[in-house]
A and B are shown apart, each in its own frame.
Chain A
Amino acid sequence: MFYRAADPATLRIVPLDALTLVYHRASGITHIVDAPVPEILDILGEGPRDVAGLLAVLSDRFDLADPDSAALAVRLDELVAAGLVERTCAI
């Protein structure tokens, strides 16, 4: 199972203080997101990845205190439900 992010050209991302605003042009929906959502969108924006692959990149780029793939899967489920990320069978 791979995850593909919305085309970065369809997103307007505005970081505010602790949270980040994401306006998704394709849906017209505004999302207010917490870490690690902007980071995930950023990495998946480079190309689809599976949970393990995404976790590896996140651990590589950030000092993850909690490299837990179950927690990451929950974040991805949220992103899928919001329509910002799509599940895909192959790359």
Chain B
Amino acid sequence: MNPALLLARVLRAPSSIEGLTAPDWNALWAVARGEQLAGTLAHRIAGLPMPQAARRLVEDSIASAEQGRTAALWEAEMARRALAGIDAPVVLLKGTAYAAAGLSPLTGRVIGDLDILVPRDAIEDVEAALLAAGWEWVKPDPYDDAYYRRWMHELPPLIHRDRDKMVDVHHTILPLTARIRPDAAALLADSVALENGLRILSRQDMLCHAAAHLFADGDLAGGMRNLWDIHCLLGEFGFDGLAERAAHHGLGTAMRRAVRQAVRLYGTEAPPAWQGWDMLDPLFHRRLTARDVWGRSTRKAVQLGFYLRSHALRMPPAMLARHLWTKWRKGHRPA
């Protein structure tokens, strides 16, 4: 069995671990680690009967995810303190938002950098406040810097000098060069306040962002994790108003494809209108599940295609050519 499909089967039906052989277990953990889903897997199967060696891995992964959650929430808290003097909403995105909102199906999820969304006209104040509170630029490269500021949907990444944690400050959820322009003002206006004053996106916007992140704005690397987020969010929030909201942001196609992929991979329950399978869906499905029993990416040709595709989506062709030329001259090659 394709080990990525094995992982998907265990995530959707944890009791299917019964009868796994030792090689199955080894492939399962290797792929789960490769896809950053080890903590999620551990939470899904905890408490079920399994070999002792697997149980120990479950305990280790749960403890590891819990520490990651503490560190992520603390980073959000320190950002909140640093930005307390700025009169603008600060919206947590992605993993930190799921943890802060206590979305239980996403327990165990790996949380990467801190991502926050702020109004575009507040971004200079936010930048200054973060720099004053100990964050520093990660890369001082003038081309990258100008590129980020002009075209990307975020500031160049900042890292905290004592805690070694990165923060990405966004003013919308897709680059300004992309053909699709989500309504950033609506994302902010409909965001929901948490107890401590930080905010999270509305339910539908959280789903829209997850779909944008999965397809429109990515090369599908780590896609199984992102799709699991969508599966869980759909289970938690349902489909009410989702089609309209996604269409409003120009993300209708991405949202529908995300749902179809989630239904296929994780058995997400979806109304009939959301189901189906188009001509490109098999390609996406293959890319999402391209892992060998060591957890390594496979299907290199498919990957390169997706690398070019993700850039094409972000930029008009002439700009893409200029960007790739500058990058390649400086020695960058797609891995």
Interface residues of A (CB under 8 A from B): 25-29, 81-83, 86-87
Contacts and interface: CB of A to CB of B under 8 A. Distances in A.
Contacts of A86: 81
Contact of A28 (B74, B134, B162): B74
B81 A28 contact: no
Contacts of A27: 70-71, 74
Nearest to A87: B81
Nearest to B134: A81
Interface in B64-100: 67, 70-71, 74, 77-78, 81
Report, nearest first, the 6 A-B pairs whose CB atoms are least far apart. Answer: A27-B74, A28-B70, A28-B71, A83-B78, A86-B81, A26-B74
Interface residues of B, number: 10
Contacts of B70: 25-28
Chain B contact residues, majority secondary structure: helix
Interface string B136-175: 0000000000000000000000000011000000000000
7 contacts: A27-B70, A28-B67, A29-B74, A29-B163, A83-B74, A86-B81, A87-B81
A83 B74 CA distance: 9
A31 B182 CA distance: 43
A81 B77 contact: no
Given A27-B74, A82-B162, 10 more contacts: A25-B70, A26-B74, A26-B77, A27-B70, A28-B67, A28-B71, A29-B74, A29-B163, A83-B74, A87-B81
A51 B8 CA distance: 57
Contacts of B77: 26, 83
Contacts of A29: 74, 163
